[in-house]
Amino acid sequence: MHLKKISVLMILSLILVLGCAVVTQAADYEKLYRGDVNGDGKYSVRDALGILKMVAKIDPTAEIGDMNLNGSVDIEDVKLMLELSVYHKGETFGLYTYAAPADAHTLIVDNQAYSHDNCCFHSMEEALAYVNAHPPADETERITLDIVPGVYREYLELTAPYVSFQNASGGSEEVKITYFLANDFTYQSHGSIAGADKIRTINIAKGATAFEAENIVFENSYNIYLTDEERAELSGNETANAKALARFEQNDPTINQCQALAMRCQADKAVFLNCTFLGRQDTLMLPNGNQRSYFKDCYIEGTVDFIYGDGTAVFEDCTINCPYGGGYVTAGSTPKETAYGLLFHHCTITRDATAEGKAAPADGSYALGRTWGPNAMVLFWDCSMDEHIKGGHDRFDDMGENKAEDARYFEAGNKDLNGNPLDLDALTDPARETVLSESDMAGDGDYAAWKWLWGNDQWNPAGFAAN
């Protein structure tokens, strides 16, 4: 293609002469501005929330290969740092404009972008390579990745502390981080892999203290859907990969289920707001013993042990969905010396069928948990549950030699989906779990919610502590 430079003055003149509708609103310098060019040569610029900033006309018949512009344009108090790329001659038209970050602590990630200008990274892998190499020293140096909506099919690891993942659209459009690795298969790019440290889409390492994510989807697509990329990665060793490849042969991604993590979060003081975690077996792993995390308004989906580990976590106002079959919601392995494990507070446990051709789980087909470790600790408090959750002896179950009666399983104040209180005395097995009273969680009670995350540093992300 030919490369032609065009001045800021020419673009400004073009906008003013050929017609311009401008919203007189100051630009948000930390947000992404995107645009498009349609068939009649008009282009528009919108901010990440979809607010129209300006519209102009370009002659689509012009003999132009690329037009690139980096500069500042002022139009009725709308000041944008622009990168303009217009593709003619039958190619896809695209215009991308980026507001200059207020400082180096906000970085833009856009896998549809054409340039690295203005701190824009083409992939999450590139962005994490940068922040891992330049880790913030403390909270005042926190780095926020402003991620443009789209699908990021990448295999990722974050080691730097004080990093945030932020959806550039504020949640109006989806940011999905997804990959497809599963246990005991051999991949072209990864070799033979096994173990939770490998079979995940993203690992938030132990050193990535105070990680935060908002409005982000984390997924492991194994046994959810099939992609050409996964098949190509598996094609190198058909004997070792026979079970995985059978899913393609039968055009059924849900057969031969095995461990495949969307996220492994080892970091202490991790916060997830309105995030989604999609997988089947072992969707979300919280290892590391002293790891604390807080989930608010999140959606978590899986079939077997899909929230598990020995970390301490509070799930508040979350939806926990079992999409088909039968299985276990949790698999706790809380160490004996750790006071608190997994707390589900005011969550909804659903059975919405989300897989094509699969029926929703039958009544009594899912246990609330099983004991991955002998001292597992799990509490469901003030949660709403559908009838796919078992009762009695199997409400919490054994795992091998680890017995439910040796674990720490609790319930309090749970309801059905219509808000009617469950008769926990009838549903629970007193040899396997304890029914607590509201007073046990109130104030300074032994299981008060704020105590779960308080630790030695009085971490209180949810504002649980009255004082």
- Assessment of whether the complete model's pTM goes beyond 0.85: no
Residue 293 near residue 313 (C-beta atoms within 8 A): yes
pLDDT digits (tens, 9 = 90+) for 35-47: 444 444 444 444 4
Phi and psi of 187, rounded to 5°? Answer: -120, 150
Concatenated DSSP letters of 10-30: HHHHHHHHH----------TT
Mean pLDDT of 380-401: 97
State the chain's mean pLDDT as an integer: 81
Measure the CA–CA gap between 144 and 286, rounded to whole angstroms: 23
pLDDT at residue 15, as a whole number: 36
The rounded distance, in Å, linking the Cα atoms of 264 and 287 is 7
Say how far apart CA 353 and CA 350 lie, in whole Å.
9
Residue 408's SS3 state is: strand
pLDDT at 111: 85
Backbone φ/ψ region at 458: left (φ over 0), alpha (ψ -120 to 50), beta: left
The reported pLDDT for the residue numbered 462 is 81
Return the structure tokens found at 94: 């695209």
| Residues contacting 118, CB < 8 A, separation 6+ | 81, 83, 98, 100, 101, 108
**Residue 465, pLDDT score:** 61
Are 116 and 83 spatial neighbours (Cβ–Cβ below 8 Å)? no
Distance CA 400, CA 417 (A): 32
Q: 306 and 300 in contact (C-beta within 8 Å)?
A: yes
In whole angstroms, give the CA distance from residue 20 to residue 15: 6
58 and 6 Cβ atoms separated by less than 8 Å: no
Cα-based angle 107, 112, 117 (whole degrees, multiple of 5) = 45
Domains and CATH numbers, the chain: 3-98 (no CATH), 106-454 (2.160.20.10)
Tally Cβ neighbours within 10 Å of residue 308: 29
Tens of pLDDT, residue by residue over 324-377, are: 999 999 999 999 999 999 999 999 999 999 999 999 999 999 999 999 999 999
Tell me phi and psi for residue 24, to 5 degrees: -80, 80
- Whole-angstrom distance between the N-terminal and C-terminal Cα of the chain? 65
d(Cα 383, Cα 413) in Å, to the nearest integer? 7
CB atoms within 10 A of CB 102: 10
Structure tokens given for 65: 């290969």
**Closest-CA residue to 149 (of 219, 56, 217):** 217
Nearest to 89 by CA among 57, 63, 112: 63
Residue 143: in which H helix or E strand, if any?
strand 143-147
Q: Which helix (H) or strand (E) holds 441?
A: helix 438-441
Other beta carbons within 10 angstroms of residue 236's beta carbon come to 13
What is residue 72's predicted lDDT score, i.e. its pLDDT? 37
Cβ-contact 275, 301 below 8 angstroms: no
The per-residue pLDDT for 290 is 79
pLDDT attached to residue 113:
64
Pairing between β-strand 78-83 and β-strand 70-75 as defined by DSSP bridges: antiparallel
